Amino acid sequence: MQLTSSISQFETRLREFFHSSVSNTRYSDWETRFQKLALDLFQLQFASNEAYRDLCSARGVNPALVTDWKQIPAAPASAFKELELSCLPAVERTRVFYSSGTTRERPSRHFHNDRSLALYENSAASWFGKTFGLFNAANAEVPTSPFTMIFLTPQPGAVPNSSLAHMFATLNQKWGGGRSHFIGEVSPRGVWTIDFKAATKALEAECAAGRPLFLIGTAFSFVHLLDFFAESDLRFQLPAGSRVMETGGYKGQSRVVPRSELHLLIGERLGVPPSQIVCEYGMCELSSQAYAMALTDADTRSSGRIFDFPPWAKTMIISPETGTEVSEGETGLIRVFDLANVCSVMAVQTEDLGIRHGDGFELVGRAENSEARGCSLMASSLREAL
Amino acid sequence: MILPNYFMADLPPDAELNPTMIREACETIRRNREHYLARRSTQAIIKLLADVGESWRQPEYRFRKLTLEHGPAATGFSSGTLAKGLDTFFKQLTAENMEKLLEQDLGDGRRLEQMAATPAEDKTGRAAIATPPELIAHITAGTLPCATLQSMVLGVLLRSAQFVKCASGASFLPRLFAHSLYDADSKLGACLELAEWRGGNERFESVLFEQADCVTATGSDETLAAIRQRLAGRARLVAYGHRVSFGYVAKGVLSGLHARKIVARAAADVAAWDQLGCLSPHVIYVEEGTEMSAEQFAEGLAGELAERELTEPRGKVPVEIAATIASRRSFYEVRAAHSARSTDTPRTRLWSSPGSTAWTVVFEGDPLFQLSCLHRFIYVKSVNNLSETFHHADVIRGKVSTVGLSAPEEKAQEFATQLARWGVTRVCPLGQMQNPPLAWRHDGRPALANLVRWTDWEI
């Protein structure tokens, strides 16, 4: 009971932090505030998340020994597959998000209740709105006027376990107005597809009306859509001010298109310049997202994009060799400390490689994609057999 | 490292190869072979190879020193690992071993030079002679150099001209070995060519395949299938696919002082060539019911690997490999922490080098075969017996090269036979997995006999 109230007190403090971060009255001492919130959350999670506590104990760490957020033990993202990494008692878990991936793999599971889900929504909308300047200048609670959003994912109701679709639903609710669409579908085998006809129709309507829109989907859904446009010899010139947001990787997909090539194709088929293409980095194990934008239209080096999380989520880039933080400009594994992960684990060690750039990072790739050297395998082909 | 320009692999990195160069090189080495090599005696060749092998084991030998000095940067192996690998390989290259190989594979050591009969053939009025290929093309794979050196040795024994196509970035040691042969006998060296390019280059390889009358190839199933298709029966193909290996420790060997030795042997197999070869173990299975449990074995193995790190450190790995190792370690760290408290996860423990990814030992109660991410990352799993192991390793059946076996003497033959029937092509003592004898039947096929053409003579 006491713990629940502590968590709800924490949530209140966190909401204030969100609000201040996205409004113009940003705290001057937000580093100190982040520190305090992080250490308090670690204490709460250590007390109420049994699986996480075991992991900390195995490393000989407890809240009394931790004096800086960087020392908070990170749970590997794979632990979300293996364990129920949650502060919520089983009966309170009203929603669970699964990671995408190959069907053979066990997915990660991130449990939520109504309150933690609301916090997730708050985090997602706040940083999205701040990043794209979509809040009223005078009041950061108030969104700007709605615009059309076209999502290449299925209706959130059709994929209740997708954190991505839920995030999109949140954005839609806040900014989508009446004309927004989800044009993805789910096949009976659970594969996400796109209703190409609906996509074409929606884009044609917006182009005809000259209304700038936001086209949002996974990188792979864009590959599908652009393939279709190429086959049908369709080209669009999306109205000026339109944006494209691509998110996520290609886990379990047969065809991988390098990001720079994808962005060129987007320019070619949709008439959207690089400066209007946004990359998103998020995962079901987190409750906040990072965005990366090209600085200019001439900036076609999509590899040079720097991802930034909101002020309530910080990253460290960790040398996989030594386990310590790398220096500026060096490559390592991305570790995220996401305060919005209130009811699971704040510190998450991903398997993604990034280059450290100030408080942000440049995304390099994924650890598990690295092929084994030498003749001993065949990792992929034998994994297929397994 | 400055070496004379004898081979294409000696050219500066920016030098571009072209199909004409490759054709001309093939014609040259074929011609040189005809003039300088084809008619040499087997005995002379064996002596030459044995002398070169002996030289490589001398600390002051120029090519050995070059290997140890420049090898770490060029190959990613530490000089300790390279030194160990060189010693192990060249120890095998003796006159006696080569004579035995000829006798084993050809039935009679004289058969490369004259018609000869085994006693059985003699009784039935027959004899035979083996004709070697004029030009062998080796398509080698990966970074493990010994397999390439072994192929080159076989080619020299046969007195064939040889074109060694190395995988990109993998020519370092084959090149030094070729130079050492050239140094010992420049005419023999003039029958060798070495080049490095990215596999699958059809322009280059189609020329090579036209010229060669025998091709040896190591690679993935897809690579081999592509080569087979492109050869279209023109040249004989000796193909080696990817294989995996594991260790097996049977009941009754882990007692007293002996236990420590067995553990050390397992560590030698993990450390050799940083575990990167087909013959390196992914998993060590330990039978339960002895004085030392599989879990204790794993703990001992971690200690041994830590010690080896002092003398034969694991080579430096790129950040992607380190990330794979780190991520996999984290996974087992979580499992270990969880299994300590809960029975719904099989017992798991993890030992790893502090502050580096140099070595990792994972003990898992779950006996299912696991592919290691290598670079000295080893699983130890407990099993009750061999048939249970077969069940858990079914996924790799038919793909297993070597089993490093440690079993009581009176039971070893039975184990070896069972492993053979299940499909394993080589059973050796634990500790010798990366040390196949010169005469070993690679992937279950004879080494020399596969390369030659036989002519039977019914007298």
**Minimum distance, in Å, between the CA of residue A99 and any CA atom of chain B:** 16
* A47-51, A245-249, B406-410: least confidently modelled range: A245-249
Interface of A with B in 335-354 (CB under 8 A): 349, 351, 353
- B218-244 pLDDT, tens per residue? 988 888 999 999 988 789 999 998 899
pLDDT band for position A37 (50/70/90)?
very high
Q: Which residues of chain A are within 8 Å of residue B356 when distances are taken between CB atoms?
A: 321-322
pLDDT band for position B204 (50/70/90)?
very high
Distance set, CA A351 to CA A366, B251, B423 (Å): 6, 39, 36
* Interface confidence (ipTM) of the complex: 0.89
pLDDT band for position A368 (50/70/90)?
low
The pTM for the full model equals 0.92
Distance set, CA A212 to CA A207, A209, A272, B13, B205 (Å): 8, 9, 11, 52, 54
Does the CB of B323 have a partner CB in chain A at under 8 Å?
yes
Nearest to A17 by CA among A169, A119, A167, A166: A119
pLDDT band for position B168 (50/70/90)?
confident
> Which of B244, B278, B334 comes nearest A79 by C-beta?
B334
Q: How crowded is residue A219: how many other Cβ atoms within 10 Å of its Cβ?
A: 20
Does the CB of A365 have a partner CB in chain B at under 8 Å?
yes
R_g of chain A, CA atoms, integer Å: 21
> Which of A76, A375, A383 comes nearest B334 by C-beta?
A76
- A218-234 pLDDT, tens per residue? 988 999 999 999 999 99
In this complex, do B319 and A322 lie within 8 Å of one another by their Cβ atoms? no
- In this predicted structure, what is the pLDDT of residue A249? 58
Q: What are phi and psi of A334, to 5 degrees?
A: -80, 125
**Minimum distance, in Å, between the CA of residue B347 and any CA atom of chain A:** 14
- In this predicted structure, what is the pLDDT of residue B222? 86
Given a contact cutoff of 8 angstroms between Cβ atoms, the answer to whether A124 and A143 are in contact is no
**Minimum distance, in Å, between the CA of residue B316 and any CA atom of chain A:** 10
Average pLDDT of the segment spanning B306-313: 96
> DSSP letter string over B339-372?
HTT-SSS--EEEEE-TTS-S-EEEEES--S----
Among chain A residues, CA nearest to B369: A386
- In this predicted structure, what is the pLDDT of residue A376? 29
Question: Does the pLDDT of residue A320 top 80, yes or no?
Answer: yes
Question: Does the pLDDT of residue A74 top 90, yes or no?
Answer: yes
Does the CB of B230 have a partner CB in chain A at under 8 Å?
no
- A127-175 pLDDT, tens per residue? 999 999 888 877 777 888 888 999 999 999 999 999 999 999 999 999 9
Q: Residues of CATH 3.40.605.10 domain(s) within chain B?
A: 8-242+440-458
- In this predicted structure, what is the pLDDT of residue A4? 65
Does the CB of A62 have a partner CB in chain B at under 8 Å?
no
Between chain A and chain B, how many beta carbons pairs sit less than 8 Å apart?
A: 136
Architecture of domain B244-424: 3-Layer(aba) Sandwich (3.40)
Does the CB of A104 have a partner CB in chain B at under 8 Å?
no
Question: Does the pLDDT of residue B30 top 90, yes or no?
Answer: yes
What class does CATH assign to B8-242+440-458?
A: alpha beta
pLDDT band for position B256 (50/70/90)?
confident
> Which of A322, A368, A375 comes nearest B355 by C-beta?
A322
Q: Please check whether the domain covering A112-311 is classified as CATH 3.20.10.10.
A: no
3-state SS, one letter per residue, for A110-172: EEECHHHHHHHHHHHHHHHHHHCCCECCCCCCCECCCCEEEECCCCHHHCCCCHHHHHHHHHH
> Which of A319, A367, A381 comes nearest B221 by C-beta?
A381
The DSSP letter of residue A275 is: G
